[in-house]
Structure 1
Amino acid sequence: MLRSLYSAISGLKNHQVKMDVIGNNIANVNTTGFKRSRVTFSTMLSQTMKGAGSPSANQGGTNPSQIGLGSMVSSIDQIMTPGSSQSTGKDTDMMIQGKGFFVLQNNGETVYSRAGAFTQDDDGTLTEPGTGAKVMGHMYGMEKSVDLISTTDEDESKIDWTTLEAIKFNIGENPPYVLSEATKIPPDAWVKSGDEWVYSNPSLIGVNATTTAPSATFDATRGTITVTTDPTKPASDADIYTFTITNLDGKDTDGKDIPLATLTSFSVDSKGAITGVYSNGEASASRVIGQVAIASFSNDAGLQNLGNSFYAASNNSGQASIGGAGEDGRGNIVPSTVEMSNVDLSQEFTDMIVTQRGFQANSRVITVSDSLLQELIDLKR
């Protein structure tokens, strides 16, 4: 059987793979953050008809005679060059200008992406809208409420990037108050001693037990109540006491009700720091809410494509180095902008023409080889 048939078949298969890659590139020409791929070919094993001969004093050397057995797909590489920027005007959209990937958590798995078309869900979390994956980073003081007087931000240089949190916007909410039942103490239970009023509650616990006497002291000059107990005594049937102090001389000052502040707007800077503006209708203040985490790899092309514009680290990508934008070679953040696909249609159409011609040429080899075999069969006639 002619070797050319099998060589041509390998050529057809390889050019079909290349055409598949080109088709995928063109299909994602408008996909945010998409990185195109390319196919490279290499030769398969060659059949040696005659080995090489070394030169001698009387005879020159000879080269080996080999017949190739076709081609094979050598690699399918991701071209990680940056795409063009597209301004969207949306506050939650971001673009990495330079190296780096956004860090997201998708169903408990850490993934990476160049697509920065994000949105805010009902819980105030910054997410990828197609999958609901959460954008990860560092949050500043989520347990603290917003002070409309102070605009001092926390020290961004002390961020621990080893522990990431989902970026959220609904921070600074006051915790709910918990109400409980109270027992009112009769006014005559207090005994005045100087500027202090003392309440004593002696009681007996058990048979032949000693008297326990927890006491409370109200300092009229400072307005403080001090409760004194003996921590060495056993507790039984504990009560909750609420102290109401009446008939005290003092100056009455009317205060002003100030509404709680809510997040009215936010902005993202080149370092990925998110600054929120809080207002209660009368005053406003800004503070840094959090900072978006950026991951970098020693070999970006070694990342494994997971779909949904997500990547995962592989054995050849290296471990993720996570930090802030603009640090250690990571790119800066461009707010209200997304990165477009790096697919060049002119390049793809040119590759398509070359691939088509390569496929046609291999098809012609099969046709001609079939004609040769037909000639052999016709020799019998």
Structure 2
Amino acid sequence: MLSTEIPWETQLGRKRWRRPPWEKEMETTNVGEDGDDEKGMVLFKRECNDKDCKLGQNNPTGMEFKDHRELRLIHIIGRNGQYGLWSLKNTLLYYIRLPCTLNLHTEFTNKTHRELRMKLKVLIIGGTGYIGKRLVKASLQQGHETYVLQRSDIGGDVEKVQMLLSFKKQGARLLIGSFNDHRSLVEAVKQVDIVICTISGGHQLLLQLKLVVAIKEAGNIKRFLPSEFGANPARMGDAMEQGRAIFDDKMVVRKAIEDAGIPFTYVSANCFAGIFVGGLCQVGHFLPSRESVVLYGDGNQKAVFMDEDDVAAYTIRTIDDPRTVNKTVYLRPPANILSQREVVGIWEKLIGKELKKSSLSEQNILNIMKEKDLAEQGVWSHFYHFFYQGCLANFEIEDDAEEAFLLYPDIKYTKMEDYLKQYL
């Protein structure tokens, strides 16, 4: 049986956990056998004052508790030396893994959940890009050992060089590698646990096929997050031909990942606020007008808008979460599911002025597209699907997918009213 002698003070990195104030109130129960993966456990009970407490989900032991309102802390010890902890804090249930064998006993909260997550080695490819640089920052902030792939030919771009140097000052490490050098990719991948790719534009997405081959050869990656971060391509099979190539390419990469048996998470982040909300959802506008706005149709189709820093924060939270492995994770917090007209209304309220509004009919936008080059047609087609068809918010999330807002309620995401305040 498992020992009930859990030390009240255990060193974990620089954090020291002390005897909980309710120690004398605690009853200890032994369950299972030592070394039995995800079955051997020490169960600590303490009365929960919250009448609405629920056991929650994702209990890999499959055990049932007759009075789950007493559940306070479960300590699971497996043969691999990793731990799982569940704690009932209000109505939330958590699962974490620690990187080493140690006995730990502490009251478990959202804060300690973040502090105790396994610290991983995370490689970000495309780290100097629009979303990549935010992922580097988020990975560092969440305590992961963060690596950024540095191309050998980047020396001619002074801004990117300076950005890479700033990453180093923040604690990131640079790894030399290139999609044109298979061996360099394999060697870079071998040094980390997680790979996140953020390359974009044209057919660059298909370069990830080389990365898939490298990850397969390396054989050590616990999770791969390919470059997605927009609309879920699996739902865009009927997109207009002008803009479908990007979705088709992402699906090609997905198939390669799944055929290779690589653990993955696909992040669907919908509309980046800086690209959409800043210009009141108008193509090619990135600052909100104080005079007028063009509405697409009646402006009432719902879309989903995300602060880019929140996209990064949610993304990094998924990388070691067993609930998100081999799944699509949608980022669509309820307060940010808005129509274009609602976004405009928020801006009008902030500036204390009503904008002059005109409307662009569905036929007009199709006519405009005909006059654009192929790249611009792709952009306009996406706006068409988002703001005329409402394809980002007109469906229920699939059973085999997850919603980040529900998985990580402790993340205080930015609402679009607060986002627009920076433009005042």
| Bigger share in strand | 1
| Bigger share in helix | 2
Smaller-chain TM-score range?
Answer: under 0.3
Larger radius of gyration: 1
TM-score by length of 2: 0.18
